[in-house]
Structure 1
Amino acid sequence: MIHYDVTRFTETDIYLFREGTHTKLYEKFGAHFMEREGTEGVYFAVWAPHAKRVSVVGDFNHYDPRTHSLKKREDGSGIWEGFIESISQGVTYKYHIRTPYDTELYKADPFAFATERPPNSASKVWCLEGYLWEDEAWMEQRAKSSLHQAPMNIYEVHLGSWRRHLDGSYLSYEEAAEALAEYLTEMNYTHVELMPITEYPFKGSWGYQVSGYFAPTARFGTPQECMALVDRLHAAGIGVIMDWVPSHFVTDGHGLIAFDGTALYEYEDPRKGYHPEWKSAVFDYGKGEVRSFLISSAHFWLDYYHIDGIRVDAVASMLYLDYARKEGEWVPNIHGGNENLEAIEFLRMLNASCYADFPGIAMIAEESTAFPGVTRPVDAGGLGFGFKWNMGWMHDTLKYFKTDPLFRKYHHNRITFSMWYAYDENFILPLSHDEVVHMKGSLLNKMPGDTNQKFANLRALFGYMISHPGKKLLFMGGEIGQWKEWDYEDQLEWYLLENPLHAGLQSMLATLDRLYREHPALYAWDEKREGFEWINERDAERSVLSYLRRGPGEEILVVCNFADARHEGYLLPLPETSEWEPLFSTQDPQWQGWEAPPSETLQSRPEACCGREHSLRLDLPALGVLYFRRASTGEDR
């Protein structure tokens, strides 16, 4: 039986929904267990303003659209609602929609908390209450902390292909929780970034073609089991970042596309509403209801799932109307420019609201252009993100390391250029999944030379990355020296760790990650120019870089020899008399390198070099990166 005298909406809800500022629509729309006059049932609400008729169909009525029609509110909101008795947890359902053109659609619930396991596409009635979180201490500490002065070293994971059972089946959320918590602890990571776990129909999209913005994918288990994954990682001291995709959505029939027979969630004009590169639909950021939907989705994951950060995918495609479009295939804005003014305003609203309601989180932009002020606060005219992926650093660094060491001296600017703009934004240095797919080769296979040289180059890349200003991100598999490109259909090549070269690389990175966490000079002043000083960036002929990293009470000297030749008695200029304790070397034999690092403290001397009065002589191993810690920093440091 269905009743129409129940609602979860107030006048304020309707106003905020239409204005585009409602942040908690997940408490209003969708399917919610309720009690009406002593009878338990489920309240349904869906936005379909142009529909002629909307019914709930599912297991409970044999998907018959004639039996449980919803009623359209009379306030012009376009919301249909109703209360259906005696529906239990896990029942599948869809909305049957009769369009203005008298066609019939079967749509999944845009606000569903759970779904069938793909390729099935129905929503499930699901109660999210009842999970007993055990991360109160984590959440309290997070709210008091700032990631900008903290170590942030992210391991990017695709849950479906990180590890699998022997029969090739997926690990569940709970199984992945235990394995990930243990592994990330051993590897000394601070955060894990989960490639999209919001429900998606096509596994080949890796989760970036989303159909369920409020439901974790059923491939790995239930919503509560997904909560347990986050809870377990928090218990291990690991922050959880999730990929989130507000830039486009799937065109599968059960999804948001033409939801009520019209362009409801997407722009009507295909020059704005269709993404030619990804063959997907683009959200209409000019509609208040769509903005409220997306902002509520972000708040939902931060709220119900205790997510610590959101990495917003493909921000550049949102900012520019001509992104991936040829001349004549896009529409200029009202000023004649190519910026999507509606998307810019949406991103500002998104970031401001998330930071206001969830202290201590990270809002991260995957943004590949020079759009100004991505991480500038909204009230200062910026987009309001906390961090931005440094795609320029990634491209230049990989191009440099792919170059044969013999010719690197001609491309020295690629490895030094990043410091010209290192403080323009709050950067994360990403070596992500995008760099190890589509015939780009794995990180190890990008490196030149024979097998030993490839490993030495990759160790050097990691040594350089950890010491460069900016937070860090590495995609799974890079740390074990995976030979083949990432394959979403298979787990990582864990058997490679039986080889000492691969095991040595992994062990080296675990040590490097630990040093990163232990030494504030490597992270605390990432966003301050005082945290970095070139010692000598001009030795292109020998492909050597040297610089200082500074933090509260600490200095670390980094010397990088990217040549495939050893430099004996290399003269290194220093700003003053000082002593330096050896801290780390990528060419240490314990990592299968070929030269033991210095074993004693090194003392500078008054020997002029490169315009400085003091210097240090040391031997630089080929393809090696050395760290030294200043023995005495002085009271003023």
Structure 2
Amino acid sequence: MNNNVQAYSLLTDFDIDLFKAGKHFRLYEKLGAHLIEVDGVKGVYFAVWAPSARSVSVVGDFNYWIQGDHQLNVRWDSSGIWEGFIPGIDKGTTYKYKIQSNNEGLITEKSDPFALYCEHPPHTASVVWDLDYKWKDKKWMDTRKDHNGLDKPYSVYEVHLGSWKRNAEGNFLTYLEFAEDLVNYVKETGFTHIEFMPIMEFPYDPSWGYQLVGYFAPTSRFGKPQDFMVLVDKLHQAGIGVILDWVPSHFPEDAHGLGFFDGSNLFEHPDRRKGYHPDWKSLVFNYGRNEVRSFLISNAIFWLQNYHVDGLRVDAVASMLYLDYSREDGEWEPNIYGGRENLDTISFLKDFNEAVYSNFEGVQTIAEESTSFPMVSRPTFVGGLGFGMKWMMGWMHDTLEYFKKDTVYRKYHQNELTFSMTYTFSENFMLPLSHDEVVYGKKSIAGRMPGDEWQKFANLRLLYGYMFTHPGTKLLFMGSEFGQSSEWNFDGSLDWHLLQYNYHEGIKKTITDLNALYKTQPALHEKQFSPETFEWINYSDHQNAVMSYIRKGHSPEDNLIVICNFTQVTRENYRIGLYKKGELIAVFNSDAEIYGGSGVENTTKLKVEASPYDGREYSIELTLPPLSVTVYKFK
């Protein structure tokens, strides 16, 4: 036994049993570095999983990074956990684990997988820290189920903190500065939720955060862990939910990270056909190893528990589900039934979702899953994966393909828009216009729109109006809400100066009003995942490139009539069929002058006539503004 390390344990036999069974979902309470007091002496208890180690030393600024001075003790129970109490160490101490492996005496020097705080990259040490913080969001936490339900408006603003806004010197803002500027902006524009691209510690800025090393530590680029708590707290106090991007799909090979942790394939699958991701040149977790499942699910629970997060958007689910994802023949091995599905992943994702939903009320998990894998957002007890929602990648692709076409050709492609309604209700879909759509030469969302300047912005307003009246929840990447002209650059700031121009300010007003419409009109959210919410009026008028439909809530009084005109031709005396007599009032017109539109509107009373049309007993003639979405309601 090392004299500088006292034998001590936070782990019980039950903890070890749960860990080995893949069912310990609060592992962060036991592993990592914990500030405690033993026999009246303050210090830090360290515990790390390294079953292939011959010895594990804690090295840091407190012992001049010398291996062997503070050597941990291996547990007797074959768990592979090394632990011990080091007196005199305080909060703020930097440290790593120096691991001598049984594998030919190989020595690795690793950051703590459970570190609560990390040095600012490119430095790679872990920092002893605590999670002490006095939350002020009780009102939100007590009622968040009323904000996060599947029958509630769910409009997400996707943010990359490093490039949302920079200071005058071009440097990052801090979490505390975001807690003022960003919170006020999201509240002003009316989004119900914000989604942060990964804020867990990562070494390489061009990865946008998707190559994680510190799974339990908010990145120190913007401040301390408690500073991030302030940001979440302020968002909650403003009535805004918080979603984090979570990346259980892969991790980088950086020397201080999880890869080859104790000289063996500990976290990653030992078979490179399952343990290496060719697209991202990163390592893939071994989902069949129980201890790894405990690590990952504990990580999900950690953010929900300790940072009051309201949802997790799980990245790259498709890459996890398929053994042949981005692999050629001969580069993958079928499962025991001869199929391409990764059975370990399926089991893991079900366990993850069950753990989240059974431990927290009023939260959501969202899958970024780009294939037709069935029942992603269906409960596990009926055979689904158990997610609350799934990104509707098909809608995103087809819609952007349609909108980039010159209006003269759109009549030949209306099926690209109407096709989504054939499968919209097969999952609980979220409509995403995400960061992936505004990089790598794809142009910004505004930059894809055809025509002259007026038409580009009219098309953009039309796109957003169509998106917000289509069934499903919404996600919009930062900058798209004011018509960012250029592609997203992770290494700079959004082009905020554009808001001095009327067209860009008009897009921001459009999004603000669409968010308000989504929140205040029950027909747009109450049944957003049910076929009962949607009824076509006419989807076949491709000659005029016009679509019309009804959105429904619980009460027929809340019904909305939506008409989309996908060309720049003003359609006068355009008739649509309706289901009853009455008078219509306009509740939204994307062509309004306040948005930068031409201001075409119906100037007379909109009386529904007893004149059959579109297979209905009643109908009305309307003026359809150019490149517009108009929304009406019975008076």
- Which residue of the partner structure matches residue 118 of structure 2? 115
Distance in 2 of aligned mates of 1:92 and 1:556: 59
Contact 1:577/1:605 (CA < 8 Å) preserved in 2? yes
- Which residue of the partner structure matches residue 466 of structure 2? 464
- Which residue of the partner structure matches residue 614 of structure 1? 618
Distance in 2 of aligned mates of 1:185 and 1:240: 13
The superposition leaves residues 410-451 of structure 1 with CA deviations (integer Å, 9 ceiling, x where unpaired) of 111011011111110001000000000011000011001111
What secondary structure, in the 3-state scheme, does the structure 2 residue paired with 1:112 have?
coil
Measure how far apart 1:594 and its partner are: 0.8
- Which residue of the partner structure matches residue 563 of structure 1? 567
Contact 1:2/1:82 (CA < 8 Å) preserved in 2? no
Q: Are 1:630 and 2:628 an aligned pair?
A: no
Measure how far apart 1:565 and its partner are: 1.3
Q: 2:439 aligns with which of 437, 457, 475?
A: 437
Distance in 2 of aligned mates of 1:175 and 1:300: 24
- Which residue of the partner structure matches residue 42 of structure 1? 44
Contact 2:148/2:154 (CA < 8 Å) preserved in 1? no
The superposition leaves residues 540-570 of structure 1 with CA deviations (integer Å, 9 ceiling, x where unpaired) of 1111000011113301110000012111111
Measure how far apart 1:143 and its partner are: 4.2
Q: 1:598 aligns with which of 593, 597, 602?
A: 602
Alpha-carbon distance change, 333 to 69 in structure 1, aligned in 2, over 3 angstroms: same
Identity within the alignment, %? 53
Q: Are 1:204 and 2:206 an aligned pair?
A: yes
- Which residue of the partner structure matches residue 285 of structure 1? 287
- Whichever residue aligns with residue 182 of structure 2, its letter is L
Distance in 2 of aligned mates of 1:415 and 1:527: 18
Distance in 2 of aligned mates of 1:294 and 1:123: 19
Distance in 1 of aligned mates of 2:605 and 2:356: 48
Distance in 2 of aligned mates of 1:603 and 1:51: 80
Alpha-carbon distance change, 105 to 210 in structure 1, aligned in 2, over 3 angstroms: same
- Which residue of the partner structure matches residue 323 of structure 1? 325
Distance in 2 of aligned mates of 1:582 and 1:566: 17
Measure how far apart 1:50 and its partner are: 0.4
Q: TM-score, normalised by structure 1?
A: 0.98
Contact 1:556/1:628 (CA < 8 Å) preserved in 2? yes
Alpha-carbon distance change, 401 to 144 in structure 1, aligned in 2, over 3 angstroms: closer
- Which residue of the partner structure matches residue 133 of structure 1? 135
Q: 2:87 aligns with which of 85, 89, 96?
A: 85
Alpha-carbon distance change, 601 to 61 in structure 1, aligned in 2, over 3 angstroms: farther
What secondary structure, in the 3-state scheme, does the structure 2 residue paired with 1:392 have?
helix
- Which residue of the partner structure matches residue 403 of structure 2? 401
Contact 2:601/2:624 (CA < 8 Å) preserved in 1? no
- Which residue of the partner structure matches residue 382 of structure 1? 384
Measure how far apart 1:599 and its partner are: 4.7
What secondary structure, in the 3-state scheme, does the structure 1 residue paired with 2:92 have?
coil
Contact 1:412/1:540 (CA < 8 Å) preserved in 2? yes
What secondary structure, in the 3-state scheme, does the structure 2 residue paired with 1:46 have?
strand
Question: Which residues in structure 2 correspond to 1:570-585 (within 5 Å)?
Answer: 570-585=574-589
Contact 1:250/1:257 (CA < 8 Å) preserved in 2? yes
Distance in 2 of aligned mates of 1:575 and 1:552: 17
Q: Are 1:295 and 2:290 an aligned pair?
A: no
- Whichever residue aligns with residue 462 of structure 1, its letter is Y
Q: 1:505 aligns with which of 504, 507, 513?
A: 507
Measure how far apart 1:596 and its partner are: 3.2
What secondary structure, in the 3-state scheme, does the structure 2 residue paired with 1:260 have?
coil
- Which residue of the partner structure matches residue 635 of structure 1? none
What secondary structure, in the 3-state scheme, does the structure 1 residue paired with 2:179 have?
helix
**Which segment drifts farther, 500-509 or 56-65?**
500-509
Measure how far apart 1:355 and its partner are: 0.6
Q: 2:244 aligns with which of 242, 245, 259?
A: 242
Give the number of aligned pairs: 630
The superposition leaves residues 272-326 of structure 1 with CA deviations (integer Å, 9 ceiling, x where unpaired) of 1000000000000000000000000000000000000000000001100101111
What secondary structure, in the 3-state scheme, does the structure 2 residue paired with 1:155 have?
strand
Contact 1:57/1:65 (CA < 8 Å) preserved in 2? yes
Distance in 1 of aligned mates of 2:379 and 2:77: 37
Contact 2:7/2:73 (CA < 8 Å) preserved in 1? no
Q: 1:479 aligns with which of 481, 484, 488?
A: 481
Q: Which runs of 4+ in 1 moved over 6 A?
A: none
Alpha-carbon distance change, 600 to 227 in structure 1, aligned in 2, over 3 angstroms: farther
CA RMSD in angstroms comes to 1.0
**Which segment drifts farther, 597-606 or 444-453?**
597-606
Distance in 2 of aligned mates of 1:601 and 1:301: 54
- Whichever residue aligns with residue 234 of structure 2, its letter is R
Distance in 1 of aligned mates of 2:508 and 2:601: 19
Q: Are 1:361 and 2:344 an aligned pair?
A: no
What secondary structure, in the 3-state scheme, does the structure 2 residue paired with 1:95 have?
strand
Structure 1 gap segments, 5+ residues each: 632-637
- Which residue of the partner structure matches residue 186 of structure 2? 184
- Which residue of the partner structure matches residue 308 of structure 2? 306
Measure how far apart 1:511 and its partner are: 1.2
The superposition leaves residues 237-284 of structure 1 with CA deviations (integer Å, 9 ceiling, x where unpaired) of 000000000000011000000000110000111111000000000000
Q: 2:164 aligns with which of 143, 162, 169?
A: 162
Contact 1:582/1:600 (CA < 8 Å) preserved in 2? no
Measure how far apart 1:576 and its partner are: 2.5
The superposition leaves residues 566-613 of structure 1 with CA deviations (integer Å, 9 ceiling, x where unpaired) of 111111111222321111111111111013323554111122223222
Question: Which residues in structure 2 correspond to 1:247-258 (within 5 Å)?
Answer: 247-258=249-260
Contact 1:4/1:81 (CA < 8 Å) preserved in 2? no
What secondary structure, in the 3-state scheme, does the structure 1 residue paired with 2:424 have?
coil
**Which segment drifts farther, 607-616 or 340-349?**
607-616
Distance in 1 of aligned mates of 2:259 and 2:622: 64
Alpha-carbon distance change, 594 to 582 in structure 1, aligned in 2, over 3 angstroms: same
**Which segment drifts farther, 305-314 or 508-517?**
508-517
Contact 2:537/2:614 (CA < 8 Å) preserved in 1? no
What secondary structure, in the 3-state scheme, does the structure 1 residue paired with 2:301 have?
helix
Distance in 1 of aligned mates of 2:229 and 2:203: 21
Q: Are 1:172 and 2:169 an aligned pair?
A: no
Distance in 2 of aligned mates of 1:51 and 1:272: 24
The superposition leaves residues 475-496 of structure 1 with CA deviations (integer Å, 9 ceiling, x where unpaired) of 0000111111000001100000
Contact 1:406/1:564 (CA < 8 Å) preserved in 2? no
- Which residue of the partner structure matches residue 227 of structure 2? 225
The superposition leaves residues 63-120 of structure 1 with CA deviations (integer Å, 9 ceiling, x where unpaired) of 0012000111110000000110101111110000111211211100000000000011
What secondary structure, in the 3-state scheme, does the structure 1 residue paired with 2:408 have?
helix
- Whichever residue aligns with residue 277 of structure 1, its letter is D
Alpha-carbon distance change, 144 to 184 in structure 1, aligned in 2, over 3 angstroms: closer
Measure how far apart 1:336 and its partner are: 1.1
Distance in 2 of aligned mates of 1:157 and 1:248: 21
Distance in 1 of aligned mates of 2:124 and 2:397: 38
What secondary structure, in the 3-state scheme, does the structure 1 residue paired with 2:53 have?
coil
Structure 2 gap segments, 5+ residues each: none
